[in-house]
Structure 1
């Protein structure tokens, strides 16, 4: 059974739901939480969690939930995870504030992929789950929406400075999502009759005075032109200070930002660049792919048409010192970059990705990089050229002049490594992957 991690959930768009509701633990946790589980079991057709996780995993059952809650209970409350590893994947965090003045039952739910909710039946099931929770646990505000588009809304600030949004919270309707639950205070701030007359797919008053509002029949189609028009109309209906054309233009821009962009990376760096998009938030991914498509690394200049002869008294000893440097890099990174042991083109790409993901040049001190990392990397890069491209070392007293002869050119791996380690951008401009492929073209 696989637990969905944040990285897993960032690979494809998800349906995200957050919910904070009030409950009364004095009635007993089992009594209070049972309606939460009943709504999930009855209406989450096709995406009911299959196991419970705390310090251990348990097959989903009511008893497993009660045991997990007690296992994780401390002076403040309890937090457990409910998961589903089958398609669609589910990650549900349930937190109970058991000792607060106003105890809360808080839920963060992700269902992947979002396309599971392309059908009205599946979307109705999600609405029914949210209705059940909101009817039982009064909430100030709750919502469900596609994760990627949600990331473009500037939630929770919505354009406000930190002090303001932390003070005021969601005190007015800054954004409308596919599914919205407005508590009585928000309803009264808008006007109950106005909110009930919102032009949307579903507007329903709940027994506790909250209002459930769903913009479109299917959650997965929230970004269609028709759904965006409904979203804009509903938002300006609830916020008369907003301008319809301005709101719709912003929504269209967000939809455009989500349109898939086909990767067309420069071939010499494609093995490296193809790994980067998944490291960005899913809301930014298509823009980043477009930026990487446009990226053209500088043509490598770390080479000479004619070799400078070796000027060292004992070449064997110098080459042995290069080997020590290279082995030191392998020893330091072999657990984080296992392929470094192989000394291949793929190893260089793995190093590119590791150094970029870690933001190595800007995270570590310049003294460490210049005196240790860059020289070790230069030696390792040279060894890969020797081993994989039939190169030959030409050692020099000044290390950055040391060369590897491949074909009719000689290459300067130590110089390349120093330039490479200047900044995070330089990891792209002077990638090891590109350098290898450039040298490879001159292999005899």
Structure 2
């Protein structure tokens, strides 16, 4: 049963909700989970899950939720995933933790695209659902907001050490999201009267002493000037120690960081860089696109106007050795870069992305790279050039070995060595750019 991936990289932002509440450990699990399901079915709207996954995938139903929770249960916990097979994309989880651990019910919702929540009715339904959960499962803090803006805000640690963050939790108002549930302890810290007088679209005291606070009718416009002013006012109201102008300026800077930037990459590396942008967190992506727009790779110098003659006795044996080297790269990487079997220009771009993603030159032992990976990559690159119409000119010294195309000879082993020096060199000496440069000189 195929499901959509809410983490599939694109320019679209995601809508995130995180919740951790208490439940009655003495009651039957089905009784404790029933209110969660009742609110989900009643209010999920357009992002309603249709797939539940325990140890296997099933069509969503209450019965299949119970089965999945049972089959995933161990001594201390159980968890399931909830997904959609159609847009909007959903990545949702429900997990329960049992004694001797502190009993917790955790809900994580990731919906894509965030623009779904530009609809007032979808947002109203979501608020109703969270209200029901927050009343039934008391929580110290819960929130719903843009994924990209959460990342920029520093969730969940907020510049604290991870150990301190885990120990203290959301012990003061570090951030005000579109939707917030402040538990009784945090309400007491802020002051109930102050909390309930927060300037916001909705401020509601719940029966268990928590406060539900929603900044505006819709979530998707969080980065607008009006929404940022409202967010700053609410935050400073709850934290009088903060300065309004400073808070607002920080929020406006976050909005600016999320403004879409059109990719205008150097054409020789565009196939590589377009893929590379997907490797960055969505909160960083626009800034990285702007940086890569300004990137100009050095003009390739791994060529000679007139090649050196071959200085090996048996050229066929050496060419066979190049083939063996190339095959060793294919054998090592074919599961991670399937297109390597094809030995095409697209394969070179896939290798560029793989090596950059893995930070290969800086992650692996230098001896392994210099003695094995770089030579094998040089042979593979040369083989792609041969398929373009080139001819190997073997040399005893590997880095002098050439592929003749037209009036130039190219040095793939030298290119591969330079390429494998650092992560930056993967950009400066990309295989994609080298191929396009060679292609221009093909007769």
1:261 counterpart = 2:264? no
Corresponding position of 2:25: 25
Per-residue CA deviations over 1:60-114 (Å, capped at 9, x if unaligned) read 1111111111111111021111112222122211011122464111111111111
Corresponding position of 1:290: 290
Return closer, same or farther for 1:53/1:73 CA change in 2, 3 Å cut-off. Answer: same
Q: What number of residue pairs does the alignment pair up? A: 443
Q: Distance in 1 between matches of 2:132 and 2:2?
A: 28
Corresponding position of 1:218: 218
| Structure 1 residue 15: Cα displacement | 0.8
| Structure 1 residue 19: Cα displacement | 0.4
Q: Distance in 1 between matches of 2:386 and 2:160?
A: 56
Corresponding position of 2:176: 176
Per-residue CA deviations over 1:296-331 (Å, capped at 9, x if unaligned) read 111111111111111112222211211111122222
1:205 counterpart = 2:205? yes
Q: Is the 1:10–1:281 contact (alpha carbons within 8 Å) kept by the matching residues of 2?
A: no
Corresponding position of 1:192: 192
Q: Is the 2:52–2:68 contact (alpha carbons within 8 Å) kept by the matching residues of 1?
A: yes
Return closer, same or farther for 1:6/1:370 CA change in 2, 3 Å cut-off. Answer: farther
Corresponding position of 2:333: 333
The 5-angstrom pairing of residues 141-180 of structure 1 reads 141-180=141-180
Per-residue CA deviations over 1:14-39 (Å, capped at 9, x if unaligned) read 11000011100312111111111111
Corresponding position of 1:409: 408
Per-residue CA deviations over 1:364-402 (Å, capped at 9, x if unaligned) read 2111111111111111111111111x2122111111011
* RMSD between superposed Cα atoms in Å: 1.4
| Structure 1 residue 166: Cα displacement | 3.3
Q: Distance in 2 between matches of 1:379 and 1:282?
A: 36
Return closer, same or farther for 1:90/1:360 CA change in 2, 3 Å cut-off. Answer: same
Q: Distance in 2 between matches of 1:102 and 1:207?
A: 23
Q: Distance in 1 between matches of 2:161 and 2:30?
A: 41
Q: Secondary structure at the match of 2:319?
A: helix
Corresponding position of 1:40: 40
Q: Secondary structure at the match of 2:335?
A: coil
Q: Is the 2:3–2:86 contact (alpha carbons within 8 Å) kept by the matching residues of 1?
A: no
Q: Distance in 2 between matches of 1:11 and 1:106?
A: 28
Q: Is the 2:15–2:147 contact (alpha carbons within 8 Å) kept by the matching residues of 1?
A: yes
Corresponding position of 1:111: 111
TM-score normalised by L of structure 1: 0.97
Corresponding position of 1:314: 314
Q: Distance in 2 between matches of 1:7 and 1:128?
A: 26
Corresponding position of 1:356: 356
Q: Distance in 1 between matches of 2:162 and 2:53?
A: 34
Per-residue CA deviations over 1:141-168 (Å, capped at 9, x if unaligned) read 0000010111101122212234433332
Q: Is the 1:3–1:91 contact (alpha carbons within 8 Å) kept by the matching residues of 2?
A: no
Q: Is the 2:355–2:426 contact (alpha carbons within 8 Å) kept by the matching residues of 1?
A: yes
TM-score normalised by L of structure 2: 0.97
Q: Is the 1:204–1:211 contact (alpha carbons within 8 Å) kept by the matching residues of 2?
A: yes
Corresponding position of 1:422: 421
Unaligned ranges ≥5, structure 1: none
Q: Distance in 2 between matches of 1:318 and 1:368?
A: 22
| Structure 1 residue 6: Cα displacement | 6.4
Q: Secondary structure at the match of 2:45?
A: coil
Q: Distance in 2 between matches of 1:225 and 1:43?
A: 30
| Structure 1 residue 335: Cα displacement | 2.4
Q: Secondary structure at the match of 2:108?
A: strand
